[in-house]
Amino acid sequence: MESYIDQSEALLKTFAKQIKLPIDFAYSASGERKEVKVSSLPINDILMDLGKNTISEYESIIKDAKTIFFNGPAGVFEKAETELGTRSILTAIAKSNAFSVLSGGDSIAAVNKYNLSDDISYISTGGGAMVRFLSGEELPVIKALKKSAKRFSANYSLIII
């Protein structure tokens, strides 16, 4: 776990201008949405969504993006008081002119809840696989196909699509 912290710190230093961390969050108190700035953390409540200022900043970034990868809801979209982040970000992606890739079961549930799937360029159920692929890790199925191609290449043609 500690190695992830070290890796995260290194990434944040290297890509400080490209990585936009949240500036505020939302939580639910007695069924009502409340917001808190990052500078006021920690609090005793569980953070459950992005705050409105972060949502606005992310919508602006999405508007100018050429390619978007979305993996995982921004908050607890199943509850009305904490769905704003997920709904807003997915709506911004759907309205953008960018090539958009959405992955993962929870992401699919959210995009379907808001009836936005027709406006997403590509949807994949493999959220974890997508993250590993984008991070440069060779996926097990690709390894197996390559191994099979070497073993049986004299008798078969293998096309990876």
Q: What is the mean pLDDT of each run of 10 residues along the chain (161 residues)?
A: 84 91 95 96 96 97 95 94 97 97 94 97 86 80 80 62 60
Cα dist. 15→20, 53, 68 in Å? 9, 21, 17
Q: What is the pTM of this model?
A: 0.81
**Angle, CA 74 vertex, CA 29 and CA 106 arms, to 5°:** 110
Q: Are 85 and 52 in contact (CB under 8 A)?
A: no
Token pair of 5 as six digits? 């912290």
- 3-state SS assignment for residue 67: strand
How high is the pLDDT of residue 47?
A: 97
For 3-139, strand residue ranges (E) read: 24-29, 32-37, 47-50, 67-71, 99-103, 122-124
Residue 161: its pLDDT value, please? Answer: 60
pLDDT of residue 158: 55
Query: What pLDDT score does 41 carry?
Result: 96
Q: What is the pLDDT of residue 154?
A: 59
Mind listing the domains of the chain with CATH numbers? 2-125 (3.40.50.1260)
